[in-house]
Structure 1
Amino acid sequence: MNKIVVSTFAVFIIMILPVLAMSDDSKTDYSNSSKTSSKLVLDEIPIFAKETLLETPSETSSRLGLSIRETPASVHIEKNSVMMNRGYFTPSEAIERMPGIIAGNPPAAQMSFSMRGFSANQIHILRDGIWLGPAGMVGRPSNSFNLDRIEVLKGPASVLQGQGVIGGVINMVTKSPVKNEAYTGEVLASYGRFDNYMAAGGFGGPIGNNIWFRTDISQTGTSGYVDDGGTRSLNSTGSILWRPNDRFDVKFQYDFLDDDLANYWGTPLVSQAFATQPLSGVISTKDGRTLDRRMRFLNFNVADHLAESTQHFTRGDISFKATNEIQLKNTFYYFDAERAWANSETFSFNSGTGLIDRDRFFVGHEQVTLGNRFTAKLDNRILGRSNRTLVGVDYQHVDFVRNSRFFGNFDSVNPFNPTPGSFPNLSASFRNPTVIETIAVFMEETLKITDKFRAVAGFRYDHIDLDRDSFNLDGSFNTRNAFQRDFEPLSWRAGIVYDVTPAWSGYFQWSTGADPIGSNIFVVNGNQNFDLTNARQWEIGLKGSFLEDRGHITLAYFDIERTNILSPGGPGGAVQNIGSQFSDGVEVDGAFEITKDWNIGGNFAYTNANFGVFGANSGNTPPNVAKWTANFITSYQNIANLPIEVGAAVRYVGDRFGDNANIITLEDYTVADVFGSYTWGPVKFTAKVTNLFDEKYAYWQDPFYTSEVLLGAPRGFQLNAHYRF
């Protein structure tokens, strides 16, 4: 379908419907009401959010409009103001500061996270509440500047988002228009070591009495801390809000991303006998391999490496308050993307030759996704008690084409002076077109049983029609990999919230989920034609604030079981029977305003995760799962009654295994950052030092690339200027 035609049609429909809905007696004069709207505070935005986030509603955890306190689940929100003041210019930097989350971001799957014992595609990445595909294939880093906030929901969430949600949901929410009469804007410039930079600007305000707009554009880039490891990301977002009367809202959004991601696929492991200058304290292995510090900043990729994408995301929302009790909402969206990788990805040390053996791998994606979501929300009373019900229908159509070509053992290079080489010309590639059509019905409900007890429940039924074709290099049809299949998962959740006091609430929840074989429905092959896996979680927790909302804390214990698991990795792409995967743990998160100028915050998490029956790997810990993680941050402002703020942040990540066999251990590490800022009128200048003590560490290992690990960045600095007007 022609993307221009679809986008134009969407804009036309969005703009014409409010005209049909308006009537003379329902018009609203905003010339007076806008004068009482909130205005942007220019003088100071602290490193901590002052408002109590427990009272903030989250659409990621529920579409009922429940606050975090009213939701029987673990929900975390990081707002744009906090991200900008902490210097988190990519979403991953902010997300990994939340309890129990580890960010990986390997080039093959840039939005990879580990959460509650699960990782990669078992965690959904949303863009403004919409799932566009498996995180490992569709997720791109984007830029934090364009976001209003990041919301995270822990645990299975198929009842809200459909198949694939086991570890949790991460929702990137872009900035929207603010309904006030003032024009506001901001400009940000940043530069740091390794040529790290960001240039960004945003502007918004009214157009007449009942239309508002917001537009943002940002570009980030770096030359990288390894040779030839540069990246670039351009993100442009914009939205228009039309409110012709107090019952009707129409919003149109556009989101454009063009990037060229890091081509650093890892540092090769070598034998201990070969590593005459070992990089100690970073990894340990059971098979005698280690790292050599002389290879730490070398890049073993080809010179003409490729890891780029271009994507367009168009969306229209119509909200209509039919009565004081009934609210209708419809969301239409269109997404198209092209992605391409052409790299040397695997670097295997050859003990016989003393060289690094390399491959070549090409992957190309063409994706078009069209979808619509309709919901109806009803507020009423049952037996005199407050009740809210939401019902909805989701439809999504995905056309996805994956082209690929692999060249194994292509060449070998010197470990200390690798010749980049080039990627071979592609005369042909394997082609795998996939069409996925999903229609789902869902329901949520919350009932205030007593003044202290609230019940929350929901279910979702999906019908997924999958049609996957496969073509060989010569264009012939591959009957072995092609197949058709319908899936019909049913997910549900039920929970209660008990208000112990007006400031403290306890909760319990049971939730279920389902995900496909290999956790990626876009690339399921004929030899993986099995039912979806199942998951369940129970969670108990406590949320509260104290000392007149100067502090807040959340605690949670969770227990997750995933069953009927088949994992890719056998001979010829066959699947392996894992049987089950378990995780349980504790998460604690809190912040406290010691004085009006001194704030502290932090969190820690304990996660115990293991496989069930998995051959020789039975009982092992899944890759990239740390038993312990912790974060601490503090800041002090108005030093000597001057607009100066200083602060520090510390992050600890415990030992993790890098592979299913638990042969490779990524050792624990601690990274500290310090910063200082000075506010001069509407401009805030900030200096930040990252990895203050120059910690050497491995932050991730892709279990499909066990011959190499990804090493973290050394000490760096960052200088920022942020002007708000």
Structure 2
Amino acid sequence: MDGYVATRSGTGTKTDTPLIETPQAISVVTQDQIQAQAAQSVSQATRYTSGVVGERNGADGRFDQVYVRGFLADQYLDSLRVASGTFAYTLVDPFNLERMEVLHGPASVLYGQASPGGVVNMVSKRPTTEPYQEMFVSTGSYGRVQSGIDVSGPLDKNKEFLYRLTASGYDVGSQVDHGDYQRVSIAPSLTWRPTNDTTITFQGTYQRDPKAGFYNQLLPNGVGTLFSTVNGRIPTSFYLGDPNYNIFKREYSSIGYLFEHRFDNVWTVRQNLRYTDNSTYTQAVYPQSNQTNITSIGRDAFSAAETLRTFAIDNQAEAKFATGPFQHMTLFGVDYQTGTNRASNGYLADVGSINALNPVYGITVPALDFDGASRQTFDQVGVYLQDQIKFDRWVALLGVRHDRADSRTVSTFDGTTFGTASTSDEATTKRGALLYKFDNGVAPYIQYTESFQPIIGASNRTLNPFKPTTGQQKEFGVKYQPDDKMLLTFAAFDLKQQNVVMQDPNDFRNRVQTGEIRSRGIEIEGKVQVDRSLTLLGAYTYLDLVNTNSEPDTLGKRPIGVPRNAASLWADYTFRSGVLDGFGLAAGVRYFGETAGDSMNTYNVPGVTLFDAALHYDLAGLGPQFKGFKFQLNASNLFDKTYVRLCQDSGCYYGMRRDVIATLRYRW
């Protein structure tokens, strides 16, 4: 998919459907946009997408989480769920992706275990029928050393066998002292096309993150970050832990396939399958609660090991047929996922204080006993039916699904079992939508949809498994796509979610559930390729998020971290003639409104406006010997704005400071 503007997506319907005919808000971030903006994560790639909040933890990059319409979105890879535990969180490297598709709103009818806020479906790079080769090297802020290679093409002259191999890695510091990141990723794939109607693509991934991030949540109530103390403010470079006891490492591997066979003009079957293994170990020193003196911050120690193994399969049968004047594309599906999550942890109180203005490191923390542990097995099976019906300019989308989810959690302390909990939940979810497509490219639509989401994991405090979340949404929208160079969308929605999982306001190591949150708002988004030289992106979001059923002290309060207003604009211009032929520049601005600083809404985190910029040059203009070379320079937060990105009851995070990345890319 070339350029910034997409015209089709399979995420909203699991079928190849034009975006203009899909009655739901969907945002597509193409590989060209990912590269142009030098996105280093999934959340960074969605910076210019409406309804989306990413990078909530600022410089803390352990978890690549994306919030859509106020709720943590589930992530899928090739339409199969990327499962995550408490710390065993799977990060997919954007260099391995062809594009990302954000489905706004509930998607359980097709995906089962899906957040009411939305789904981020990542589409991996597939083998190509024509030879393709690319490599890059990057350097920049914080001592960045990064490179990658992407090669693909046919293995035989009949193009029956196709291959692709992507591999990349980096070693980079961060704005926080002693906060480094390292990664090695390799993703091979092989496509076999025995006939014109049959395709199977085998996929594998291995990713090792020896340094996958660091815990650096600072003090609660904005002490020393939002609000100055008698001793001043905490520097953004301050590391609250200790390099002697800072480990967050992750190892992830997966293997699977994507199969499709077309029997005739009516029937097509597909089967997608993947097995994954994620092992994560972390140990950190963190601040004790209620700290207010930045020159003497009391700290405790924590360590955890978690292993998550999952298997997922999705079976689909698609039928295209007509009943009188009605054209049908009917999808029947059965999906199943199962897995085991093992987690153990240990704690040690009072390992020494630290001065944020003059930190001294080098403490010794003894090995912690993993006295608390849990083992959870889970299974979910879903049966779904969807019918896309076209009549003249009308498009109707009807769907229904039934899920059954079972889990069994065994909790131990000092090797002795003290609790066993089993849950079994069933739910039927529905979806109905109607769209009218005018000849001029305008397409208004209405939709109602529901969600059901079993949650992997259990409370670290009570070790009880979480209840499934449920959600309901009404949506009205208008899309405008007169040609394949422009897509403008407007959506207004009213969404409710029950049993919302969030971080424990009193303990960062724990997750809790609250009663109900209501999300209402509008999203406006536009992507326009004006001509060969100029591309424009724009987005605006208004979001009214409120607790409608919770404890009395938070009833009617806004959840943390999500602004009422957010907006962004990106412009990319390339000269196509004259002495500047091949030279381009881009600029972007992102506005993020104020957010609640704690669950009681006693104070707010101020909004911030950030500027991004990029320069790029096709070096072929220097002579034929430079054909295929392209240089690119990106700067995010160009003016190095210091700001607080998130505050919650347990502490605050600074936002990302200026980050400059220079990349030399070669394609042949």
Shift of 1:411: 2.4
Counterpart residue type for residue 513 of structure 1 = S
Q: 2:505, 2:650 within 8 Å by CA — same for their partners in 1? A: no
**CA distance in structure 1 between the aligned counterparts of 2:356 and 2:221, rounded to whole angstroms:** 9
Q: 2:593, 2:607 within 8 Å by CA — same for their partners in 1? A: yes
Counterpart residue type for residue 524 of structure 2 = V
Counterpart residue type for residue 562 of structure 2 = V
Greater share of residues in strand: 2
Residues 688/57 of structure 1: CA separation in 2 closer, same or farther (3 Å cut) = closer
Q: Deviations over 1:489-527 (max 9, x none)?
A: 2212110111123412111110111235xx554558877
Matched residue, 1:616: 553
Query: Structure 1 residue 724 and structure 2 residue 667: aligned?
Result: yes
Matched residue, 2:622: none
Q: 2:62, 2:213 within 8 Å by CA — same for their partners in 1? A: no
Q: 2:560, 2:596 within 8 Å by CA — same for their partners in 1? A: yes
Shift of 1:211: 0.4
**CA distance in structure 1 between the aligned counterparts of 2:182 and 2:230, rounded to whole angstroms:** 32
Select which of 31, 34, 47 maps to 1:96. 47
Matched residues, percent identical? 22
Counterpart residue type for residue 638 of structure 2 = L
Query: Structure 1 residue 581 and structure 2 residue 517: aligned?
Result: yes
Residues 298/528 of structure 1: CA separation in 2 closer, same or farther (3 Å cut) = same
Q: 2:460, 2:510 within 8 Å by CA — same for their partners in 1? A: no
Residues 524/485 of structure 1: CA separation in 2 closer, same or farther (3 Å cut) = farther
Matched residue, 1:557: 492
**CA distance in structure 2 between the aligned counterparts of 1:294 and 1:248, rounded to whole angstroms:** 60
Shift of 1:571: 9.4
| DSSP-derived class of the 1:469 partner | strand
Query: Structure 1 residue 231 and structure 2 residue 181: aligned?
Result: yes
Shift of 1:191: 0.6
State how 1:1-40 maps to structure 2 within 5 Å. Answer: none
Shift of 1:710: 1.5
Q: 1:300, 1:344 within 8 Å by CA — same for their partners in 2? A: yes
Select which of 354, 376, 382 maps to 1:434. 376
Residues 135/672 of structure 1: CA separation in 2 closer, same or farther (3 Å cut) = farther
Matched residue, 1:177: 127
Matched residue, 1:36: none
Q: Deviations over 1:674-716 (max 9, x none)?
A: 2211102211101223222221112234x4xx34322123233
State how 1:72-111 maps to structure 2 within 5 Å. Answer: 72-104=23-55, 106=57, 107=60, 110-111=63-64
Shift of 1:532: 3.1
Matched residue, 2:605: 666
Q: 2:163, 2:189 within 8 Å by CA — same for their partners in 1? A: yes
Q: 1:126, 1:171 within 8 Å by CA — same for their partners in 2? A: yes
**CA distance in structure 2 between the aligned counterparts of 1:401 and 1:338, rounded to whole angstroms:** 10
Count the aligned residue pairs. 650
Q: 2:219, 2:291 within 8 Å by CA — same for their partners in 1? A: no
Matched residue, 2:405: 464
**CA distance in structure 1 between the aligned counterparts of 2:634 and 2:300, rounded to whole angstroms:** 39
Counterpart residue type for residue 405 of structure 1 = G
Select which of 682, 689, 697 maps to 2:628. 682
Matched residue, 1:25: none
Matched residue, 1:711: 654
**CA distance in structure 2 between the aligned counterparts of 1:290 and 1:458, rounded to whole angstroms:** 60
Select which of 559, 582, 586 maps to 1:647. 586
Q: 1:655, 1:667 within 8 Å by CA — same for their partners in 2? A: yes
Shift of 1:556: 0.5
Q: Deviations over 1:394-443 (max 9, x none)?
A: 12120110111122443222222233324430343312111101121111
Select which of 530, 533, 539 maps to 2:475. 539
Residues 711/670 of structure 1: CA separation in 2 closer, same or farther (3 Å cut) = same
Query: Structure 1 residue 694 and structure 2 residue 640: aligned?
Result: yes
**CA distance in structure 2 between the aligned counterparts of 1:145 and 1:628, rounded to whole angstroms:** 30
**CA distance in structure 1 between the aligned counterparts of 2:511 and 2:89, rounded to whole angstroms:** 25
Residues 495/423 of structure 1: CA separation in 2 closer, same or farther (3 Å cut) = farther
Counterpart residue type for residue 471 of structure 1 = T
- TM-score with structure 2 length normalisation? 0.91
**CA distance in structure 2 between the aligned counterparts of 1:576 and 1:369, rounded to whole angstroms:** 23
Residues 103/566 of structure 1: CA separation in 2 closer, same or farther (3 Å cut) = closer
Shift of 1:485: 1.2
Shift of 1:202: 0.9
Shift of 1:206: 0.7
**CA distance in structure 2 between the aligned counterparts of 1:644 and 1:233, rounded to whole angstroms:** 32
Residues 57/688 of structure 1: CA separation in 2 closer, same or farther (3 Å cut) = closer
Q: Deviations over 1:623-676 (max 9, x none)?
A: 111111111111221165211001111111000123322234221111111221
Matched residue, 1:18: none
Query: Structure 1 residue 477 and structure 2 residue 394: aligned?
Result: no
Residues 667/291 of structure 1: CA separation in 2 closer, same or farther (3 Å cut) = farther
Matched residue, 1:133: 83
Shift of 1:171: 1.6
| DSSP-derived class of the 1:97 partner | coil
**CA distance in structure 2 between the aligned counterparts of 1:326 and 1:567, rounded to whole angstroms:** 43
Greater share of residues in helix: 1
Unaligned runs of 5+ in 2: 620-626
Counterpart residue type for residue 485 of structure 1 = T
| DSSP-derived class of the 1:388 partner | strand
Residues 654/308 of structure 1: CA separation in 2 closer, same or farther (3 Å cut) = same
Q: 2:83, 2:90 within 8 Å by CA — same for their partners in 1? A: no
Counterpart residue type for residue 145 of structure 2 = Y
Residues 195/246 of structure 1: CA separation in 2 closer, same or farther (3 Å cut) = same
**CA distance in structure 1 between the aligned counterparts of 2:484 and 2:16, rounded to whole angstroms:** 22
Matched residue, 2:212: 261
**CA distance in structure 2 between the aligned counterparts of 1:328 and 1:305, rounded to whole angstroms:** 48
Residues 501/523 of structure 1: CA separation in 2 closer, same or farther (3 Å cut) = farther
**CA distance in structure 2 between the aligned counterparts of 1:271 and 1:700, rounded to whole angstroms:** 10
**CA distance in structure 1 between the aligned counterparts of 2:585 and 2:117, rounded to whole angstroms:** 35
Residues 78/708 of structure 1: CA separation in 2 closer, same or farther (3 Å cut) = same
Q: 1:528, 1:574 within 8 Å by CA — same for their partners in 2? A: no
Shift of 1:302: 2.0
Shift of 1:566: 8.1
Q: Deviations over 1:552-605 (max 9, x none)?
A: 311110110123668785999999884321111111111334444233221111
Counterpart residue type for residue 296 of structure 1 = T
Q: 2:449, 2:472 within 8 Å by CA — same for their partners in 1? A: yes
Q: Deviations over 1:332-360 (max 9, x none)?
A: 22111111111113355644795101121
**CA distance in structure 2 between the aligned counterparts of 1:316 and 1:596, rounded to whole angstroms:** 37
Query: Structure 1 residue 598 and structure 2 residue 525: aligned?
Result: no
**CA distance in structure 2 between the aligned counterparts of 1:577 and 1:202, rounded to whole angstroms:** 42
Unaligned runs of 5+ in 1: 1-39
Matched residue, 1:161: 111
Residues 721/440 of structure 1: CA separation in 2 closer, same or farther (3 Å cut) = same
Counterpart residue type for residue 662 of structure 1 = N
Shift of 1:530: 7.5
| DSSP-derived class of the 2:360 partner | coil
| DSSP-derived class of the 2:21 partner | coil
- TM-score with structure 1 length normalisation? 0.84
**CA distance in structure 2 between the aligned counterparts of 1:577 and 1:265, rounded to whole angstroms:** 24
Matched residue, 2:346: 405
Q: 1:305, 1:423 within 8 Å by CA — same for their partners in 2? A: no
Q: Deviations over 1:248-304 (max 9, x none)?
A: 1111000111112221423335887xx6xxx6xxx36xxx97994453211011213
**CA distance in structure 2 between the aligned counterparts of 1:101 and 1:540, rounded to whole angstroms:** 18
Counterpart residue type for residue 314 of structure 2 = R
State how 1:66-465 maps to structure 2 within 5 Å. Answer: 66-104=17-55, 106=57, 107=60, 110-119=63-72, 123-134=73-84, 137-180=87-130, 183-208=131-156, 209=158, 210-259=160-209, 260-268=211-219, 283=226, 292-303=232-243, 304-346=245-287, 348=289, 350-351=291-292, 354-420=295-361, 421-448=363-390, 450-465=391-406
Indicate the RMSD between aligned Cα atoms, in angstroms. Answer: 2.7
Counterpart residue type for residue 83 of structure 1 = I
